[in-house]
Amino acid sequence: MNIKTIEWLGDSVCLIDQKKLPLKKIYVKCSNYKQVAEAIRSMQIRGAPAIGVAAAFGIALGGLKTKTEDKQKFISEIKKISEFIAKTRPTAVNLFWAVRRMNDLVIKNSGHPVPFLKKLLVAEAIKIYDEDIAINEKIGKYGAVLIKNNDTILTHCNAGALATAGYGTALGVIRKAHSEGKKIKVFVDETRPFMQGARLTAWELKEEGIPHVLITDNMAGYFMKKGMINGVIVGADRIAVNGDTANKIGTYSVAVLAKEHKIPFYVAAPLSTIDISIPDGSHIPIEERNPREVTHIMGKQIPPDGTVILNPAFDVTPHKYISAIITEKGIIRPPFKRSILAQFS
């Protein structure tokens, strides 16, 4: 893909506005950390790894623009900036992982002068960005083994280059299998209400020339029953120690359908998406977003005035529905708790 999701420009952060894609390719320049935070909150940038990278760039930018030369004041300023950015979205753990990594770095190097700390923060954010692409390529390599020639794979939401620093997790696996010459077709769930599938995944697949078909979310069962789908790959926003996985709302329904039809259901995610501090999915905070995302399509109101709306942005798929989790270290299979803890020991 020619377009960069996010880029560090030395004194600002540039990102493609994912709310406008695919109709308009508009770049947003963030000159301060508050603008980066707003881009995450409003979902101009979205996808768990991408918001982790954006958070790291936001902290680096905030640090760079801080005036004080006093080390203690600088460290507390970084803490304040981090807390501000951490309040943007609650579910994807990559955000908090990146914030912690940036803060740990300044605390570990607190003996150094402020200009040095600023450089360290920028270097660390760029490292997080670079690492994310390398990790996704590894996920792609391990995951592609699970895809056979002539497979038809369903994906939900967008776990592609746009949801990461580049390449993608679930779409990275699909990209890799396609590049190996396997003939595959992708069923893309449109992913109401934000339409990440219809707008972003369909666009990425078109750019890559990967055969795909767009369906509405309620069609997945129909095509599974007809034997037209033989694998599901999705990304993740947070994975608990027992393998329970939070991902875009609707993922749980797809996983239940997949189990009913004996179709393997794979989660592709970096280890930074695994939250080993929580035993199971019931501890994952689920973001509730603006009702307008449900009531309005392309600016036009659909239900009658006053209709009560619920808009949880994620759901949790219990681990019993997951066949394997594909990470940069290889394929994790059940029993997940043991296999996941082994990755962190």
Do 286 and 297 form a contact (C-beta atoms < 8 A)? no
46: contact with ligand MRU by CB under 6 A: yes
Contact 192, 293 (CB under 8 A): no
Two structure tokens written together for 102: 């940036």
**Residue 11, φ and ψ in degrees, nearest 5:** -135, 15
- Active-site pick, 70, 132, 189, 237: 237
Question: C-beta of 168: minimal distance to ligand MRU in Å?
Answer: 6
70 classed as catalytic: no
Per CB under 6 A, 49 contacts ligand MRU: yes
**What are the tokens at 288?**
């509730």
199 binds ligand MRU, rule: CB under 6 A:
no
Q: Which residue is nearest to ligand MRU (CB)?
A: 235
Contact code string over 247-266 relative to ligand MRU, x by CB under 6 A: xx------------------
Q: Which among 213, 217, 155, 170 has a CA at the least distance from the CA of 191? A: 217
For residue 65, the minimal CB distance to ligand MRU (Å) is 26
Q: Does 48 bind ligand MRU (CB under 6 A)?
A: yes
Written as six digits, the tokens of 313 are: 């942005």
Q: Radius of gyration of the chain from Cα atoms?
A: 20
Strands 245-248 vs 212-215: parallel, antiparallel or unpaired: unpaired
What is the residue type of 218? N
- 92 sits near ligand MRU (criterion: CB under 6 A): yes
Rule CB under 6 A: is residue 237 a binding residue for ligand MRU? Answer: yes
Q: Is 313 in the site for ligand MRU (CB under 6 A)?
A: yes
In the complex, the residues that contact ligand MRU under the rule CB under 6 A are: 46-49, 92, 157, 159, 163-164, 169, 196, 234-237, 247-248, 313
Which residues are identified as catalytic? 237
